[in-house]
């Protein structure tokens, strides 16, 4: 009876969370905020009345969820777009996180009843950002970003969680282990990051090899294999002293930058799994919070949230991006969209399990800061983008009725080729263009229709050709017809 009740309650919470995402799409409220609120409503202080007070379980759920979310973020990262902003992204995900932690830590130790070490711990916990919340708001409001902004935000938020986790664990060790020193913390940082990066790269290559060479008899087994490899990557890396979170993110990037068997279906699987993990994680964290315990720290929470949003984040962004050529408007926007997500709340369970003094206050303050960030920053992102003039109209991605998955040994790729007006393509039949033999026109999108091509079909300005071609031939055709006649 109890088991059936747990199943029903879990299914209803998941279903309501999925449907609540429509509220996010309509009003621009970050989905994470809705999931957290649902968890709080289902908890012992809400109408749901579900009592849950086990930080260890919440932390375990959070760690597993983060592993799968980070891998999904890595495998979906467009390597060609982020490659040009690696320097900015890595600076913000390391130095930027450190500056944020130091600024918040000093502020908390001066104005609140925290020691300097406890203040630094609080700063480390709230130092990472959540890109999924940012992009979901932008997408729901039909806002795109100019230049390299999206790539910088994507790389920063995808890679700054390992740094925040390292700082949090290291500071807890400083507080609980008398013999642990700053020198030990620095050497541990180097070891964890190097091992995480190296093992993550190796794991990504291993995944690519196994997916392409295993020749499994059933397509449904490939997601099982990649899932097991992701968890194995984290476990092995963490076990030998590396940063497992960095390893799975790196493995995802390495795997995602190449073509492999069933790529589309695997991307969809891991994307859906990441959403499931996000919902489960936020609901669990929402259940863990007692709203009546948060009320007494509202004043302290507002001070920390204000420091984080208006001081620490801007300082870290503008100092970290001093060598960058990004415009001040772009830097200001990056500063504003530093939304806090589930990672700070998960990290806030670490002091609880370590039984540190003020651990409960830390947890409640962090939770309040995340809520404040989601409400203030999350709902205002589209307006801030317009005010800073960094927004651009969203170009809807056309959905084609066919799919193509690359395979090992096949160099051709499926690409879009627009027919611009005033060029030598418009008004001519396909056979008259003298296209290379390996430049195959598969489908033509004309306004809202799809046309199956033949050699005698006359192209019109504005047509989108879906072509199967190698990169070299594609570039040759694009260069030949790029100039107006």
pLDDT at residue number 484: 52
Q: Convert the pLDDT of each residue in 161-205 to its tens digit.
A: 889 999 999 899 888 887 777 777 788 888 999 999 999 999 999
Q: Which of 116, 83, 84 is nearest to 182 (CA)?
A: 116
Please indicate, yes or no, whether residues 431 and 360 belong to a single structural domain of this protein: no
> Do residues 74 and 105 both lie within one domain?
yes
Q: Which helix (H) or strand (E) holds 186?
A: helix 182-213
Question: Any residues with CB less than 8 A from the CB of 89 and at least 6 apart, and which?
Answer: 82, 151, 152, 154, 155, 156, 159
Tell me which of 361, 393, 425 is where a domain ends: 393
Burial class (CB in 10 A: 0-12, 13-18, 19+), 204: buried
Q: Tell me, yes or no, whether 403 lies in a domain.
A: no
Tally of structural domains, the chain? 2
Q: Please check whether residue 382 lies inside any domain of the structure.
A: yes
401 lies in some domain: no
Instruction: Clarify whether residues 389 and 418 are in a common domain.
Output: no
Residues 379 and 434 in one domain: no
Task: Give the per-residue pLDDT at 37.
Answer: 84
Same domain, 328 and 423: no
The CA distances from residue 140 to 29, 136, 313, 376, 379, in Å, are 9, 6, 25, 17, 11
**pLDDT value, residue 137:** 66
CATH of the domain at 464: 3.30.70.1450
User: Do 129 and 152 meet the contact criterion of CB atoms below 8 Å apart?
Assistant: no
For the full predicted model, state whether its pTM sits above 0.85.
Answer: no
- Where a domain ends, among 393, 422, 453? 393
In a domain, 207, yes or no: yes
* CA dist., res. 247 & res. 238, Å (int): 9
Query: Cα–Cα distance between 321 and 323 in angstroms, integer?
Result: 5
Instruction: Verify that 417 and 324 share a domain, yes or no.
Output: no
For residues 11 and 17, what is the distance between their CA atoms, to the nearest angstrom? 10
Domain ends where: 393, 428, 455? 393
Domain that holds residue 129: 2-393
Q: How far apart are CA 280 and CA 57, in angstroms?
A: 12
Same domain, 320 and 432: no
- Say if 485 falls within a structural domain: no
Summary mean pLDDT of the chain: 85
Does the residue 94 lie in any domain? yes
Q: Are residues 315 and 230 in the same domain?
A: yes
Rounded to the nearest 10 degrees, the angle between the axes of helix 263-288 and helix 221-239 is: 60
Question: Do residue 335 and residue 271 come from a single domain?
Answer: yes
Q: Based on the domain organization, do 324 and 280 belong to the same domain?
A: yes
pLDDT of residue 393: 67
Do 34 and 130 belong together in one domain?
yes
251: domain CATH number is 1.20.1530.20
Same domain, 181 and 65: yes
Tell me, yes or no, whether 6 lies in a domain: yes
400 inside domain:
no
Low-confidence stretches of the chain (pLDDT beneath 70): 1, 24-25, 27-28, 131-143, 393-398, 400-401, 403-411, 482-485
Q: What is the DSSP letter of 73?
A: H
């Amino acid at each position: 009876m109890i088991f059936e009740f747990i199943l029903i309650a879990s299914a209803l919470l998941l279903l309501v969370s999925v449907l609540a995402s429509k509220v996010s799409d309509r009003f621009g409220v970050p989905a994470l905020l809705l999931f957290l609120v649902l968890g709080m409503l289902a908890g012992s202080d809400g109408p749901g009345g579900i009592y849950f007070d086990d930080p260890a379980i919440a932390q375990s759920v959070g760690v597993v969820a983060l592993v799968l979310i980070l891998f999904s973020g890595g495998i979906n990262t467009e390597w060609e777009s982020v490659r040009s902003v690696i320097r900015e992204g890595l600076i913000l995900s390391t130095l930027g996180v450190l500056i944020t932690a130091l600024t918040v830590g000093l502020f908390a130790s001066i104005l609140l009843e925290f020691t300097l070490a406890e203040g630094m711990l609080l700063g480390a916990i709230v130092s990472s950002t959540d890109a999924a919340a940012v992009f979901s708001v932008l997408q729901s409001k039909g806002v795109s970003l100019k230049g390299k902004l999206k790539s910088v935000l994507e790389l920063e938020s995808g890679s700054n969680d390992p740094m925040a986790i390292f700082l949090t664990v290291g500071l807890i060790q400083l507080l609980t282990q008398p013999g642990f020193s700053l020198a030990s913390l620095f050497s541990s940082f180097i070891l964890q990051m190097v091992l995480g990066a190296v093992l993550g790269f190796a794991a990504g290559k291993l995944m690519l090899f196994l997916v392409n060479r295993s020749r499994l008899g059933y397509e449904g087994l490939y997601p099982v294999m990649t899932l097991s490899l992701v968890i194995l990557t984290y476990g092995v890396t963490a076990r030998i002293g590396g940063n497992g979170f960095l390893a799975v993110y790196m493995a995802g990037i390495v795997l995602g930058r190449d073509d492999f068997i069933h790529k589309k279906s695997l991307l969809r699987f891991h994307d859906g799994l990441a959403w499931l993990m996000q919902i489960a994680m936020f609901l669990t964290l929402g259940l863990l919070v007692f709203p009546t315990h948060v009320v007494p720290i509202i004043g302290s929470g507002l001070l920390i949230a204000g420091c984080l949003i208006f001081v620490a984040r801007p300082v870290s962004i503008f100092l970290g991006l001093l060598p960058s050529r990004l415009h001040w408007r772009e830097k200001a926007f990056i500063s504003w969209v530093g939304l806090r997500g589930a990672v700070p709340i998960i990290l806030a369970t670490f002091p609880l399990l370590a039984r540190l003094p003020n651990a409960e206050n830390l947890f409640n303050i962090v939770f309040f800061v995340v809520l404040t960030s989601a409400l203030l920053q999350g709902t205002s992102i589209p307006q801030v983008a317009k005010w800073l003039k960094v927004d651009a109209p969203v170009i809807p991605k056309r959905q084609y009725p066919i799919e193509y998955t690359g395979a090992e040994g096949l160099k051709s790729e499926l690409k879009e080729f627009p027919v611009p007006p005033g060029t030598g393509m418009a008004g001519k039949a396909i056979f008259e263009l003298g296209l290379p033999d390996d430049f195959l026109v598969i489908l033509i999108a004309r306004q809202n229709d799809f046309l199956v091509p033949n050699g005698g079909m006359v192209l019109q300005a504005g047509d989108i050709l879906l072509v199967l071609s190698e990169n070299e031939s594609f570039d040759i055709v694009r260069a030949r017809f790029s100039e107006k006649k």
